[in-house]
Amino acid sequence: MAVLGPNRYGKAETRVVRVTRHGDAHRIKDLTVSTSLSGDMTEVHLSGDNSAVLPTDTQKNTVFAFAKKHGVGAIEDFALLLARHFADSQPAIHHARVAVEEHAWERNGAFGHSFVRSGREVRTCVAHYDGTRSWVVSGLRDLVVLNTTNSEFWGFAKDEYTTLPETRDRVLATAVDAAWRHADASQGASQDWDKAYENARGALLAAFADTYSLSLQQTLYAMGTRVLAECPGVCEVRLSLPNKHHFLVDLAPFGLDNDGEVFFAADRPYGLIEGTVLREDAPAAGPAWE
């Protein structure tokens, strides 16, 4: 017989821009917010009785209203605020998950009211709240990095389908997709999330640059451990690193050598290296990664 398993529902990708005006010097926060609620949802699935269902339209309205009432500081604080509101105010909602993406802008010259979208990575976070406890994962995606040297790949396993030559010098490039779990998210909103973000981002960039790499896995592990070293509140780091292959072009047919100078940047297929680095004493993750 069929039974209902895990489920959740919400409003995905609400695009909210919050402007703050301090005299002529304005500030903008540009977010994409996705909310997901779960709880006493058996009836709506079985019979279509919506009495436990706070509409996704209401969730969207709440995002806009909270942006006004509370302002938008660090996205982690905004996500926690929303998660707590939904689970604390709706009797049938026992768990809220709020994901926020932040799109970066820079000032356009000296003008206080004019901005240019910065192309830097997207900053992300996911907050969970179950009526008692909170979990927060911060992260980033689309941080594209490339090393022109200090990367080798050799000594790998070989079988009858292996044709790849070994190399002692290659371009290493990836689009970093990283997330890090905060050990102490339940202790309230007193954290300096922005500072933690800059620390983690800096650690990822530095470790990518200064690790002499024998494999992308080694670089991944170095990036994860560096985040743990730089961010005391972080207990676990997850990384997904596509190997954005830059193939050395064979110019020999044209009488030219190519000593690491001309590369073809390929689209697909690509290597994909995924891994986790965590503290030995990391607390259980609970729903943090869901």
Q: Which of residues 185-244 bind a copy of itself (CB under 8 A)?
A: 205-206, 208-210, 213-218, 220-221, 224-225, 228-229, 236, 242-243
Q: Does position 269 bind a copy of itself by CB under 8 A?
A: yes
Q: Does position 133 bind a copy of itself by CB under 8 A?
A: no
| C-alpha distance across the termini of the chain, in Å | 27
Helix (H, G, I), strand (E, B) or coil at 198: helix
- List 70, 278, 283, 287, residue binding a copy of itself (CB under 8 A): 278
The Cα–Cα gap between 217 and 277 comes to: 11
Q: Does position 113 bind a copy of itself by CB under 8 A?
A: yes
User: What is the H or E stretch that residue 147 is in?
Assistant: strand 134-147
| Residue in the block written with tokens 């290659």 | 170
Q: 56 an active-site residue?
A: yes
- List 84, 94, 115, 141, residue binding a copy of itself (CB under 8 A): 115
Task: Check 103, 182, 244, 245 and give the catalytic one.
Answer: 245
Instruction: Name the residue nearer to a copy of itself (CB basis): 138 or 181.
Output: 181
User: Two tokens at 77?
Assistant: 């604080």
User: What is the H or E stretch that residue 69 is in?
Assistant: helix 56-70
The Cα–Cα gap between 42 and 68 comes to: 34
Q: Does position 141 bind a copy of itself by CB under 8 A?
A: no
Q: 219 an active-site residue?
A: no
Instruction: Name the residue nearer to a copy of itself (CB basis): 71 or 190.
Output: 71
In the window 7-26, what residues touch a copy of itself (CB under 8 A)?
A: 7-21, 26
Instruction: Answer whether 79's CB lies under 8 Å from 89's CB.
Output: no
Q: 42 an active-site residue?
A: no
Number of residues that bind a copy of itself (CB under 8 A): 136
What is the amino acid identity at position 105?
Answer: W
Secondary structure letter of residue 259 according to DSSP: S
- List 73, 114, 187, 195, residue binding a copy of itself (CB under 8 A): 114
User: Two tokens at 191?
Assistant: 């954290």
Q: Just list the catalytic residues.
A: 11, 56, 245
